[in-house]
Structure 1
């Protein structure tokens, strides 16, 4: 039988590695290798709408299948199973790096260094940051924390619990391709397959993230859940609006991206709200980890 069974010990060890060490060096980071594959295929993409769509489908398939098949091969190597699998799973998820990126924004913002905060925000969002005031910088950081709770933690944990390391690696590969080419503009057609596949894979994780944020918000759980149900359609993405609206409701904020969307019915965010969002998402992340461990355990008992 293929060695794909999820192991709760591996999951806990992967989380411990992430919290203790953060991201490994690029030369030994499997996600970076996937990014290089995507970049190679991007550079060799032919021109023309129809052929770009086909090439983009090939790119998306490669980004999904190469990491998944590589994980299957890696699990057969004669290496310490628990440590090696935990390391590979850790590379599929990222919570410490997300927190550090958010703290990199809030610290200069609290010190009144708006320009430095805008520059730090580039690690969280790709939008134009030059005209953002303090409130919009804080809003972008809060939005990114909420959305990436799903992409960076809930989804890989869920995929691991459901299908082992190959499933988690497949998700991370697709998410990497989407981050690199799955946007409008130059990659309108080349990135369409990656974007659609990423949307599909994150349908459940995004909604689970909203539920986890609501559950982590204590007395404001009802408000957070109501906001997610009411306002998740306001974003262009079918998934991003769920955790973002839940966070807005939980924190009592309005989160705006001028010209695109506005979710929530509270006050404009301030720098301190980034720290509140970190604490909220940290509690939601803990609930996600607990749920994934219990799911792994239930599958062990069921065998």
Structure 2
């Protein structure tokens, strides 16, 4: 009951208050540390290729950072376990909240649609805060599609996966996942980025995130599937559409969102999901946010049930 109470407290804080200030945000601290380490492990662009050294450096740096994050989370969990029955869940919930970012994700996606209603350039500028791709050539439909894709993909990264690992391993599980996901976002690139070569230096981070996100991404798709009252296509269609993306994971929630809304989503020159669907309209963005919100509630309920089942098995 303590872990379940902490989970719902974290979701409530996220809904009512959103993100803490950057100076108090653990994920921001992780990002700064990863940025500092990345400048030391990734060779400068144009430097002689030393794949093994770059891969080993990236793997060792990732493991060291993961160990530090897990140790810090274990320390917080240990303190919480020694507090009175009312205070332990409070501390755990407050510590879990920064590892979840549903409200911020929803608000940023809706802000893209609001900006797009004023001008295409403003919509592109707002979208650039959400995605790493070049947005300069996107038309209004492309901007909207990218925002909805980001909502679906990041629903897993920002909420479902942290809850999944929290249900299994408590606060250390959620913290370790957020470290891995942040490391992938900062290091997991092919080729050059910001003057450094990441193909091998970031490979471990990319593969670790793929592994830790594999099952949660598919659960996210099922939550989006179950959150819609529409009949939608069959799960076989979802599986086929999800496999059209280069990523082993992100295609699942994006395909579920496209199929449930009946719209076409894609990245120019890379993939198209639900190609027979219609172009995304302005009304689809808030509809996508409502669908994702119902998915969040399902994810919280399922995580609570999993925690309860694990506790019962442990007590048996």
Whether TM exceeds 0.5 here: the answer is: yes
Take 2:120 and 2:137, find their aligned partners in 1: how far apart are those partners?
A: 11
Q: Who is 1:299 aligned against? A: 310
Counterpart secondary structure, 1:271: coil
Query: What root-mean-square deviation, in Å, do the aligned CA atoms of Structure 1 and Structure 2 show?
Result: 1.6
> Which residue matches 2:248?
238
Which residue does 1:158 correspond to in 2? 164
Deviation of residue 7 (structure 1)? 0.8
Go from structure 1 to structure 2 and tell me whether the alpha carbon gap of 1:219 and 1:272 turns closer, same or farther (over 3 Å shift).
closer
Partner of residue 33, structure 1: 29
2:292 is aligned with 1:286 = no
Structure 1 unaligned segments of length 5 or more: list them: none
CA distance in 2, matches of 1:45, 1:285: 37
Tell me how far 1:224 sits from its aligned partner: 6.2
Deviations, residues 1-25 of structure 1 (Å, cap 9, x unaligned) = xxxx971000000101111111111
Between the aligned partners of 2:146 and 2:235, the Cα distance in structure 1 is 21
In structure 1, which of residues 206, 227, 236 is the aligned counterpart of residue 237 of structure 2? 227
Aligned length: 297
Partner of residue 15, structure 2: 19
Matched residue SS, 1:75: helix
1:299: Cα distance to partner? 2.2
Aligned to 1:98: 105
Aligned positions of 1:53-72 closer than 5 A: 53-72=55-74
Q: Which residue of 2 aligns with 1:43?
A: 39
State the match for 2:54 in structure 1.
52
Q: Which moved more, 1:77-86 or 1:39-48?
A: 77-86
Indicate the residue corresponding to 2:257 in structure 1.
Answer: 247
Could you say what secondary structure the match of 2:59 adopts? helix
CA separation in 1, counterparts of 2:281 and 2:202? 35
Q: Calculate the TM-score normalised by the size of structure 1.
A: 0.94
TM-score, structure 2 as length reference: 0.90
- Please say if 1:7 is aligned against 2:3: yes
In 2, Cα distance between equivalents of 1:6 and 1:144:
33
Q: Counterparts of 1:54 and 1:23 in 2: how far apart (Å)?
A: 34
Cα distance in 2 for partners of 1:218, 1:7 equals 31
Post-superposition offset of 1:65: 2.1
Counterparts of 1:285 and 1:146, CA distance in 2 = 11
Q: Distance in 2 between matches of 1:133 and 1:18?
A: 32
Residues in 1 aligned to 2:145 and 2:36: alpha-carbon distance in whole angstroms: 34
* 3-state SS, counterpart of residue 272 of structure 2: strand
Matched residue, 2:95: 88
**5+ residue gaps, structure 2:** 44-49, 193-197
Structure 1 stretch displaced more, 57-66 or 232-241: 57-66
- How do 1:180-195 and structure 2 match up within 5 A? 180-186=186-192, 187-195=198-206
Does the Cα contact within 8 Å between 2:70 and 2:176 map onto a contact in 1? yes
Distance 1:206 1:46, change over 3 A: closer
1:18, 1:95 within 8 Å by CA — same for their partners in 2?
yes
| Alignment correspondent of 1:276 | 287
Q: Which residue of the other structure, out of 103, 109, 121, is the alignment partner of 2:116?
A: 109
Aligned residues of 1:254 and 1:263 also touching (Cα < 8 A): yes
Moved more, 228-237 or 199-208: 228-237
Structure 1 CA distance for aligned equivalents of residues 236 and 259 of structure 2: 8
